[in-house]
Structure 1
């Protein structure tokens, strides 16, 4: 284990090259065919057996030289429908309108180098390491599909990493307990009765219904949810009306709900339906609500997260462990935690001098590649230590 840091340091140029290649060739959710092929070819060269999942993704397995349990390491692979604004980087996306704007290119690169490192010390591994190269995290369906295809079968513990631009390079965060919120989507369709703008008394104005709902639905959180149980309700899209002198007949609103508590999640859904129906009734219209459950909350196993804290301090220094609040962002890593204990860590890549503090999903997004080594080593150290300590 003492040689792991040196081994990964020696592979740093390869690590950066893999990340930059993947960055320049982004593929959207469920379209990661070439990325999957690249990962497969790399694993072939390492002699690590794997199987492909449908339609994209890979599950690989490295059996150690000593018997033991199984730990899984996960990286996601998909990109976003984001236009890359920066033109000052040689590895800029080759496909306009598609971009690795969330760091999944880095995750895949780090896990490949971790697999290479672990394959070189496999005789010392006390158990089995499973590598999960997951598609479609950005649409919150990849992890669930892989679970359905058996990715968590026989897994005793699971660990994942997300590169994080809001944390300084060199830092690691791994909350004990809640880390990421559940992320749901709702759509409300109001129907009024269209008419001439000059004769509002003959119509039912969908603009009024939608506006009243948009203003008042915020009180679901501020007045019906315990303030000690955090939640966010955001309406991000509203479509209403067709012309300046036509009273709108239809209005469509779309939004998202984020929270950490299952009871709060159910309550907010119920209240959205109640508010929509009551507001529509007040104006004489009707409402239809479609509520879709997305990712669940990521609640890190305390023992697993404590291992990450200890490894961070031991291998990267006492100041490397970063403590902060959970994020209201969503992560489908939660579906793995339904099957086995584990945790999800954030590895910092924010560096003002290198202009890498842009928000995830922004067209300027980039990472400080000095953080890649930390992520790769953390994957390796977590697998080795968890297996050796849980015989």
Structure 2
């Protein structure tokens, strides 16, 4: 697949990706990463504005219509993970790693910009280099700082170990689930462990609550709509002979459907209130709204499929086997404008078992060529679509 790009450009993209991988930066602190992005854009004489949402960058290639844009998005942040890949270009930053492929995504978008630099398109193209995807807040902040002004369509993608290198996987509908969080505090007052009748034991109440919450998905949600309610943190007590004064449960809520998402949150509150009455105690529920689901629109799916087939062929253009229950803040963009989010096959033979966010995560660098070429092609196809639609009487 490296033959999709001029050899010199492909080699440059590998160098950029490996440099970013060696020097990962956490969310909102992608300063060196932003410098490298700007350096590449300067070398290719592509105009840009930096300092957007802190470390974000908006680069633009003007078309005949300079007021309408196709947007291509790449995320830049890394994760607080200690790398164990053994790669010669492994992270030099202790406890920090590009364990989700954002080094690849940023590089792909740079490659697309290089390919389109001299293109004559009917509308303009904007390249969004976004910070803090891992916090779920980066896209929202970029939107607040006008990243979508004039944008008619937006496209993005993610490397994926579930598909072979050289393939592009496209979902007909949901791609990622919404991602919300909850915190449930149970107040028992505390007491002596030998006299449990003198106080409410929040550990017992919390244990009942953990089990009750598991019935929401199994008994209240249509099995055709994937969803998750997980308690990931249960903290209570300070000593074995003391009844805890408080227990705190924290967890995540995932859904691919807006109505299901709303139902899950309402059910958590209902069950917590019922358990509080059952045990005659006080329970406080905090719900923190996170990223919305990523759902591709029908028309954008067709454009993406056309671009993918043009780049990798029909046999390598596949349907996603199942939507990912992980969160992705690209959903905030899709709440504003239509678009499509795809997956770039990138499994490394022998590393199939290392998922994203693993300390051993890596991806096949052939995906850099596929992603860059796909993003350039979808920009061309979408630009023509906008032009043809706007020119119709």
TM-score norm. by structure 1 comes to 0.94
Provide, for residues 293-317 of structure 1, a one-character-per-residue CA deviation record: whole Å limited to 9, x for no partner. Answer: 1110111111111122222223212
**Aligned mate of 1:329, from 326, 329, 333:** 326
Provide, for residues 207-264 of structure 1, a one-character-per-residue CA deviation record: whole Å limited to 9, x for no partner. Answer: 1011000011111111222223221111111111111111112111111111122221
Matching residue of 2:381? 385
Detail structure 1 runs of 4+ shifted over 6 Å in the superposition.
Answer: none
Matching residue of 1:182? 178
- Structure 2 residue 144 is the aligned partner of structure 1 residue 154: no
1: CA distance between counterparts of 2:57 and 2:74?
A: 10
Secondary structure of the residue aligned to 1:150 is: coil
- Structure 2 residue 348 is the aligned partner of structure 1 residue 343: no
Per the TM alignment, residue 43 of structure 1 is displaced from its structure 2 partner at its CA by 1.3
Note if contact 2:27-2:78 (Cα within 8 Å) is conserved in structure 1.
yes
Question: Structure 2 unaligned runs (5+)?
Answer: 388-393
**Aligned mate of 2:37, from 31, 36, 39:** 39
1: CA distance between counterparts of 2:200 and 2:377?
A: 63
**Aligned mate of 1:229, from 225, 242, 248:** 225
Secondary structure of the residue aligned to 1:168 is: coil
Per the TM alignment, residue 201 of structure 1 is displaced from its structure 2 partner at its CA by 1.2
RMSD: 1.7
Secondary structure of the residue aligned to 1:30 is: coil
2: CA distance between counterparts of 1:179 and 1:8?
A: 31
Per the TM alignment, residue 125 of structure 1 is displaced from its structure 2 partner at its CA by 2.1
Question: Structure 1 unaligned runs (5+)?
Answer: none
Note if contact 1:311-1:378 (Cα within 8 Å) is conserved in structure 2.
yes
1: CA distance between counterparts of 2:331 and 2:83?
A: 29
Matching residue of 2:390? none
Matching residue of 1:77? 76
**Aligned mate of 1:360, from 340, 356, 361:** 356
Q: How does 1:226-305 map to 2 (within 5 A)?
A: 226-305=222-301
Per the TM alignment, residue 81 of structure 1 is displaced from its structure 2 partner at its CA by 0.8
2: CA distance between counterparts of 1:295 and 1:345?
A: 18
Secondary structure of the residue aligned to 1:386 is: helix
Note if contact 2:4-2:373 (Cα within 8 Å) is conserved in structure 1.
no
> More displaced, 229-238 or 126-135?
229-238
2: CA distance between counterparts of 1:300 and 1:54?
A: 25
Note if contact 1:356-1:368 (Cα within 8 Å) is conserved in structure 2.
no
Note if contact 1:176-1:306 (Cα within 8 Å) is conserved in structure 2.
no
**Aligned mate of 2:366, from 350, 364, 370:** 370
1: CA distance between counterparts of 2:66 and 2:196?
A: 77
Note if contact 1:81-1:99 (Cα within 8 Å) is conserved in structure 2.
yes
Note if contact 1:69-1:387 (Cα within 8 Å) is conserved in structure 2.
no
Per the TM alignment, residue 66 of structure 1 is displaced from its structure 2 partner at its CA by 6.9
Note if contact 2:186-2:282 (Cα within 8 Å) is conserved in structure 1.
yes
Matching residue of 1:133? 129
Aligned length: 384
